[in-house]
Amino acid sequence: MSATQLLYQSALDSISGDLRVAVVNAHADPLLKEISKQSPELTVLQHFKPEHDELLRLGLNCSQTLEGEFDLILLSPAKNKQQTLGWMAEAMKHLVDGGKLLMACTNNHGAKSYESALKTLAGGVGSLSKSKCRVFSARKSVSLNHELTVQWINDAKAATIESHGLLSQPGLFSWDRPDIGSTLLLKHLPDSLTGAGMDLCCGYGFLSAHILEKNPDIKSLYLIEADHMALNCAEANTKPWAGKCQPHWLDAASDPLPLKLDWIVCNPPFHTGQRQDIELGQTIVANGCKSLKRAGKLYLVANRKLPYEAVLDRMLMRHRIIVQEQGFKVIEATKGVTP
């Protein structure tokens, strides 16, 4: 049984009566559908588009913000601890007095650490171990540390980061420092980008903001991102060029993308959760190639060892490695000019 299934099964075992239930960082599973049957006004939160779409296919409606009060809140940790602590504090804030926060986590994902954190926040925790996972819970009581609640919520919020001067927040890719790959890509981009372009997997907009600043003749830029929180930051970071920017919350691996573009920049992801997923980046790049018009250019940065060349051979007319440096490679690829 996975940590998600353990969480949902534990909730099913404890739901009675007409409880108001919310699920933060929800993952699609038939057990969640069962929870929705017992709690018809179930609130489900998921900011990542592929998982959001899976939840929709289960017949569940998703939200981006936690609003109102709940008797029970279920929480699956994020990869980033600071983000997870913020969610824990936010969940406690939205519980009724006596309401319960229920979490589950694999042992190798920091289960003991999160259980300890919840105890520090709420004053008392009940827990059990099963299937190399731990499920633990706490009730909102007079023992809740309100000062720590505020601190953890604020620490997880979007803020301007000194190292790159842009709005970002814990949990986003390279949120607190400029990414080496993206910085290398910027260094080797042409200074004369024009027309319509796309920042594919734009994150919090590091590439977009710098490209727009350096290339005033760009007419339009599509910001494509699967993480809703990242896209909010990207939109804020490109606000000076709002008339040129079109942010889109999309799954770049499967959703249709804008077409007839002059150029694309991309620093594709190659992880799904905690697991390396090379095919994810290859699928995103292949989908992005379809967006280029004839003679359109793709500028890609990737880990030196990742095999994107085979995708480019299949999808575009030619490609070349501009530079290999610091464990990364920057590739320029061109779409064919013939039908």
Distances in whole angstroms, Cα of residue 248 to Cα of each of 29, 68, 232: 26, 28, 10
327 and 200 in a common domain: yes
255 and 196 in a common domain: yes
Q: Which of 96, 124, 155 is the last residue of a domain?
A: 155
Among left, alpha and beta (phi > 0; psi -120 to 50; other), residue 44 is beta
Residue 312 domain flag: yes
Q: Which of 115, 130, 155 is the last residue of a domain?
A: 155
Q: Which of 111, 129, 155 is the last residue of a domain?
A: 155
What sign has the CA pseudo-torsion 216, 221, 226, 229? positive
Domain total of the chain = 2
Report which residue type is found at 199: D
Q: Which domain holds residue 19?
A: 3-155
241 and 107 in a common domain: no
3-state secondary structure of 59: coil
Per-residue pLDDT in tens (0 to 9) along the chain, 339 residues: 899 999 999 999 888 878 999 999 999 999 999 999 999 889 999 999 999 999 999 999 999 999 999 999 999 999 999 999 999 999 999 999 999 999 999 998 899 999 999 999 999 899 988 889 999 999 999 999 999 999 999 999 999 999 999 999 999 999 999 999 999 999 999 989 999 999 999 999 999 999 999 999 999 999 999 999 999 999 999 999 999 999 999 999 999 999 999 999 999 987 555 555 689 999 999 999 999 999 999 999 999 999 999 999 999 999 999 999 999 999 999 998 754
166 and 117 in a common domain: no
185 and 289 in a common domain: yes
Residue 339 domain flag: no
Closest CA to 272 of 264, 282, 262, 263: 282
Phi, then psi, of 221 in degrees rounded to 5: -135, 125
CA pair distance 159, 157, nearest whole angstrom: 6
β-strand 271-272 against 318-325: which pairing, if any? unpaired
94 and 181 in a common domain: no
Residue 182 domain flag: yes
Residue 44 domain flag: yes
